[in-house]
Amino acid sequence: MMTEGSHSRSGAAQVVFTPSGRRGRFPAGTKILDAARALGVDLDSVCGGRGICGRCQVVQSIGEFPKHGVASRADHLSAFGPIEQRYHDKRAPLAPGRRLGCSTEIRGDVVIDVPPDSQVHRQVVRKRAEVHAIRVDPVVRLHFIEVTPPDMHEPAGDLRRVEAALREEWGVEGVRCDLAVLETLQTTLRSGEWRVTVAVHGGRDVIGVWPGFRDKAYGAAVDVGSTTIAAHLCELSSGEVVASAGAMNPQIRFGEDLMSRVSYVMMHPGGEREMTAAVRVAIRGLLHEAAAEAGIAPEEILDVTLVGNPIMHHLLLGLSPVELGQAPFALAVDAAVNLTAGALDLGLHPGARAYVLPCVAGHVGADTAGVILSEAPYLRDEINLVVDVGTNAEIVLGSRERMLAASSPTGPAFEGAQISCGQRAAPGAVERVRIDPITLEPRYRVIGNEAWSDEPGFAAAGGAVTGICGSGIIEVVAEMYLAGIVDEDGVILPGGAGRSGRIVEDGRTFAYVLHRGDVEVRVTQNDVRAIQLAKAALYAGVRLLMDRLGVERVDRIRLAGAFGSHIDVKYAMVLGLVPDCALEHVTSAGNAAGTGARIALLDRSARPEIERTVRRIEKVETAVEPRFQAHFVEAMAIPHKTAAYPELAKAVVLPARKSARAGGEGVGRRRRRGRLR
């Protein structure tokens, strides 16, 4: 790439992307997707430029653009090509003017518009494979063998000669063989002229045989969340994620949250069968979609690992979750479950296997086992706190010495539910907020729009604001606290004469108006209360585990899950979601549950490791712990009653407060002026 300002060279075309406004010079022949990537433009791609996913669609803006100094003519892009034609014919029709960025070449100066549906951040399901170093030693291995043909003088069956070849060439002993493999074994051996590739699971189970040489086998790691399901398809020998797919969990139609799904089963005997069927169909669909994106047949998938919270785990396996809805929250099975993928009706290779990670306890499921595998606190010397925030917060605390786990009932506020203008993370949801401590005017960013609300690109990209998502509500409440709009008790203070009109009366309390437009987005006193309750539940659960472990501080905090991946950890500290810790040691763990499933898929030693680890974790039941309530009450304050947060105060709180005071009325005066409740 030649950036703007470098001398124009022959053949270099000026490329301007909208709405981001990013621009640069590229040699003729450069693909649009490559130019976008070089410039950091938010252009999606799931299939890696194979012309399969259609996520890289762009539209050329044609005409003179004096503002950009560009004449964007139709022939400045390569003609509609065979890859696009194939996508158009075989996958989905391309709307007029739409081009695939991965196959369209730049031939001259162009202005390229990236529509909202082609931007990565339009993604609703945000669970993507994280970059994580994983040892690759999969449970399923392919072995190419040459089998001795049968002989009139040697009456051994075909399988016995396959076993001999596996033993002699690959050291595989004690072979067992699926009936499904036996059914095709003779024809496969003969069509391959006695040279075949065998898939062996766990070092002894022959689960597939193909004629000739084959060097690729696939597996999938699936994270069954109560809201979303994400699947990552991996090539087993390289460990590479070759495709990812995500979808909403269809069980939502039976109940938004976990307990309402348990209630559904209680009120509709046999209702678990409907939910089991729904989730299996969804997983099957995702795996087939991922296979199509990777250009393979679903029958090439030989192994699947799955994680999910206890209720998702039971519903996936076809087990009633009713016992999980009431004390003592007994699981039907807490050990890891090994079964055939066929038993889950996933429509994969007939010999494909499935492995469901173990559950920790009735409230702490296989998803937490995945988080533990991914974060490996059991291998560390320092005290680690790992928190996976969802409708419940799963909390793991400890080190190689001792590990504790609990689940705390945070409720759905962190996911945008129970918030007056709350919504799921989707296009139009406010996800980032800054409030000027002097004027109290906000700036914000919404999902699907790269620009901040006060930047020209914001309106250009549609400027639609529909609500606030979980990470947005954390930021706005934290910013309201930093700007002195909310006090330590979580009370929204009155705006006062001459102050910003952003603080408005709302019955007997006040609300902060974040966005005015077709949809007014405001943060009410009840919203702040909902966040206080959620964060107090989380913090109280953490404190309980710290009491048990006998520690006052933790050395490292990792925030996992979709919510943990998208909140700015600084704001988690400002609100006191987690205990005091040096800010640089508080980080996001991404989708750690999904990463754990991927580790279990790709590294055979991880399975016994997590099974051993889970059994030695001490479970703490927050519901019956008397100190939980005391910690909960203390944690209602912002950040929390016992907060020291020295680094945070230095870095964030004090400067914001100082500038608020310098700006005029100051936080203290506004607070002293009294409050309405």
Q: Contact residues for ligand FES (CB under 6 A)?
A: 33, 45, 47, 49-56, 100-102
- Min dist CB 95 to ligand FES, Å, is 14
Residue 106 or 344: the one with the smaller Cβ distance to ligand FES is 106
Compute how many other C-beta atoms are within 10 angstroms of the C-beta atom of residue 451: 18
Minimum CB distance to ligand FES, residue 189 (Å): 39
Tell me how far, at minimum, the Cβ of 114 lies from ligand FES, in Å.
Answer: 13
Q: Name the phi and psi angles at 263, rounded to 5.
A: -60, -40
- Residue 90 or 677: which CB sits closer to ligand FES? 90
Looking at the Cβ atoms of 82 and 155, the one nearer to ligand FES is 82
Please give the order of strands across the beta sheet that includes 503-506.
503-506, 509-515, 521-523
CA distances from 32 to 36, 57, 58, 548 (A): 6, 10, 9, 56
Nearer to ligand FES, 35 or 486 (CB): 35
- The residues that bridge with 432 in the sheet, in sequence order, are 445
Least distance from ligand FES to the Cβ atom of residue 598, Å = 22
Nearer to ligand FES, 91 or 160 (CB): 91
Angle value at C-alpha 93, between 92 and 95, nearest 5 degrees:
130
* Collapsed DSSP state (helix, strand, coil) of residue 593: helix
608 preceded by a cis bond (ω within 30 of 0): no
Spatial contact of 435 and 483, defined as CB atoms under 8 Å apart: yes
Q: Cβ closer to ligand FES: 49 or 541?
A: 49
- Copy the structure tokens of residue 63: 């005409």
Which residue sits closest to ligand FES, CB atoms considered?
102
Listed in order, strand segments (DSSP E) in 409-523 are 429-435, 442-446, 467-468, 503-506, 509-515, 521-523
* Closest distance to ligand FES from the beta carbon of 428 (Å): 24
Q: With respect to ligand FES, which residue has the nearer C-beta, 44 or 609? A: 44
Question: How many angstroms separate the CA atoms of 340 and 359, rounded?
Answer: 19
The least CB distance from residue 100 to ligand FES, in Å, is 5
Cα 224 to Cα 366: distance, rounded to the nearest angstrom: 10
Could you give the count of Cα atoms lying within 13 Å of 594 in the half-sphere of its Cβ?
30
C-beta of 100 vs 656, nearer to ligand FES: 100
Rg (C-alpha) for the chain, rounded Å, is 28
Nearer Cβ to ligand FES, position 30 or 532? Answer: 30
Give the residue with the Cβ less far from ligand FES, 50 or 216.
50
Q: Of all helices (H) and strands (E), which one includes residue 84?
A: helix 82-86
Q: CB of residue 83 vs ligand FES: minimum separation in angstroms?
A: 8
Reduce the DSSP state of residue 414 to 3 states and report it: helix
94/417 with CB nearer ligand FES: 94
SS (H, E, C) 340-373: EHHHHCCCCCCCCEEEECCCCECCECHHHHHHHH
In the complex, least distance from residue 94 CB atom to ligand FES, rounded to whole angstroms: 10
Rounded least distance, CB 565 to ligand FES, Å: 23
Report, in Å, the least distance between residue 361 CB and ligand FES.
42
Q: How many CB atoms lie within 10 A of CB 173?
A: 10
Least distance in Å: CB of 54 to ligand FES? 5
With beta carbons less than 8 A apart as the criterion, state whether 335 and 358 touch.
yes
Query: In the bound complex, what is the minimum distance in angstroms from residue 31's beta carbon to ligand FES?
Result: 9
d(CA 370, CA 357): 7
Task: Identify which of residues 233 and 593 has a Cβ nearer to ligand FES in the complex.
Answer: 233
The beta-carbon contacts of 70-76 under 8 Å, at least 24 apart in sequence, are: 70/14, 70/16, 70/109, 70/110, 70/111, 71/109, 72/109, 72/110, 72/111, 73/108, 73/109, 75/107, 75/108, 76/13, 76/106, 76/107, 76/108, 76/109, 76/110
Q: How far is the CB of 489 from ligand FES (least distance, A)?
A: 51
Q: Which residues pair with 429 in a beta bridge?
A: 467
What are the angstrom distances between the C-alpha of 8 and each of 38, 171, 375, 478?
A: 18, 62, 49, 48
Closest contact distance (angstroms) between CB of 106 and ligand FES is 15
**At CA 89, angle to CA 87 and CA 95, rounded to 5?**
75
For residues 295 and 507, which CB has a smaller minimum distance to ligand FES in the complex? 295
Q: Is 82 helix (H, G, I), strand (E, B) or coil?
A: helix
| CB of 44 or CB of 479, closer to ligand FES | 44
For the beta carbon of residue 417, count every other beta carbon within 10 angstroms.
17
Assigned token pair, 340:
């055939």
